[in-house]
A = this chain, B = another copy of it.
Amino acid sequence: MKLFNDLADFSAPEVADLLQLAGRLDEKPEPRALQGKVLSLLFLSPSLRTLASFQAAMIRLGGGAFVISPDMSIHGLETRPGIVMDGMAAEHIREAVPVIASYGDAIGIRAFAERRNLDVDVTDTEFNALRSLVDKPLINMESAINHPCQSLADWKTLDDLSVPKRGKFVLTWAYHPRALPLAVPAATLHMAAMRGMDVTLCRPEGFELPDAVMAKAHAAAEQSGGQITESTDPGTATEGAHVIYAKSWSSTRHYGQRHEDEALRNELEHWCVDEPWFANAEPACHFMHCLPVRRGVVVSDRVLDGPRSVVVAEARNRMLVQMAVLHRMMAG
């Protein structure tokens, strides 16, 4: 495998194969599979799970990773093309990325969503610019519009929990004081559709996902036999749900417009997932979230601390599916 950027690049059997490998590496460790192999990790935005789980994954396979992030003492990184670098930044990403990649057998990059221009982010302009600088196997560790490691981990979590392939998967917007990227909702919607599920996207007016994101998810549903419905009412959206997956994101109506986004979002503090949201769901309905999650804001303590919540299992699966990806990229 040369690129792990998007689940859409893989067929359903290929995904099944990766998940099977992830499970096998959990049960039968291979502590020498990547002996002497190096994973370069470049973080252009904050991380906890990704930072920890990729390092742990490499150690479990007998190799190792190093981390570079701009908050380290590294002179600052310039990203703008064609600029005269007479300011603070002493190094340009055009040198930094190839150099960092040159030290590894594979590289993982976390880029940021600029959240100024929706088209720029939906087409993953920033990440694709970084990609073009790398000639090693590359892992998208979250870009403006994708998060394939999270989606693969979530898919494994659904399988681990025996959530039916045709089960009802509700992806719901939730309140958060800040405008967050579209990567997780876009990737999650597509993942659930690709798994063949009965997906409901539940979000307030003004928080629709972009047309290109919806079209891609619909195509995946058509291929898999799943379906996608949209709703603005959590009460009806959650009826019969096997899974409620919460996530906050930016207003797409006012993308990059901070004040307009805030005005819209600040009316929506009641979009906090709590036990009543599960009233008409399946009795064993699970609560999912990619973390980090704000308690009492996105979801209530009682849901997060109760038996519905599988957020730690999702996070642990990050490590396992990444081990599978790394194994495919570097072993043998």
Q: Which residues of A contact B (CB under 8 A)?
A: 29-32, 35-38, 40, 43, 45-49, 51-53, 55-56, 58-66, 68-75, 78, 82-86, 90-92, 94-96, 98-100, 102-104, 177, 291-297, 301, 304-305, 311-312, 315-316, 319
CA distance A61 to B70 in the complex (A): 27
**Contact yes or no, B73 A315, CB < 8 A:** no
Residues of chain B contacted by A46 (CB below 8 angstroms): 72-75
**Contact yes or no, A90 B52, CB < 8 A:** no
CA distance A294 to B77 in the complex (A): 10
List 8 extra interface pairs beyond A86-B177, A91-B291, CB under 8 A: A35-B62, A46-B75, A83-B295, A85-B295, A94-B305, A95-B304, A95-B311, A98-B312
Residues of chain B contacted by A104 (CB below 8 angstroms): 56
A20 to chain B, nearest CB (A): 20
Q: Which of B63, B75, B92, B291 contacts A95 (CB 8 A)?
A: B291
CA distance A74 to B43 in the complex (A): 11
Residues of chain B contacted by A52 (CB below 8 angstroms): 40, 66, 68, 99-100, 103
Query: Could you say how many copies of this chain the assembly holds?
Result: 3
**Taking A71-B73, A297-B84 as contacts, is the C-beta distance between A312 and B99 under 8 angstroms?**
yes
Q: Which of B36, B59, B103 contacts A31 (CB 8 A)?
A: B36
CA distance A56 to B70 in the complex (A): 19
Closest 8 CB pairs of A and B: A31-B36, A91-B292, A84-B296, A59-B64, A85-B294, A55-B66, A56-B103, A102-B316
Residues of chain B contacted by A75 (CB below 8 angstroms): 46, 48, 292
**Contact yes or no, A295 B94, CB < 8 A:** yes
CA distance A74 to B46 in the complex (A): 5
A109 to chain B, nearest CB (A): 14
* Residue of B with least CB distance to A57: B103
A153 to chain B, nearest CB (A): 12
Residues of chain B contacted by A315 (CB below 8 angstroms): 95, 99, 102
Residues of chain B contacted by A70 (CB below 8 angstroms): 73
Residues of chain B contacted by A62 (CB below 8 angstroms): 35-36
Residues of chain B contacted by A37 (CB below 8 angstroms): 31, 59-60
Residues of chain B contacted by A91 (CB below 8 angstroms): 48, 291-293
CA distance A291 to B104 in the complex (A): 18
CA distance A55 to B58 in the complex (A): 14
Residues of chain B contacted by A96 (CB below 8 angstroms): 48, 292
Residues of chain B contacted by A94 (CB below 8 angstroms): 295, 304-305
**Taking A84-B297, A95-B293 as contacts, is the C-beta distance between A72 and B74 under 8 angstroms?**
no
Residues of chain B contacted by A98 (CB below 8 angstroms): 312
**Contact yes or no, B48 A301, CB < 8 A:** no
**Contact yes or no, B36 A59, CB < 8 A:** yes
CA distance A297 to B87 in the complex (A): 10
**Contact yes or no, A92 B48, CB < 8 A:** no
Residues of chain B contacted by A291 (CB below 8 angstroms): 91, 95, 99
**Contact yes or no, A103 B36, CB < 8 A:** no
**Contact yes or no, B301 A82, CB < 8 A:** yes
**Contact yes or no, B73 A43, CB < 8 A:** yes
**Contact yes or no, A295 B74, CB < 8 A:** no
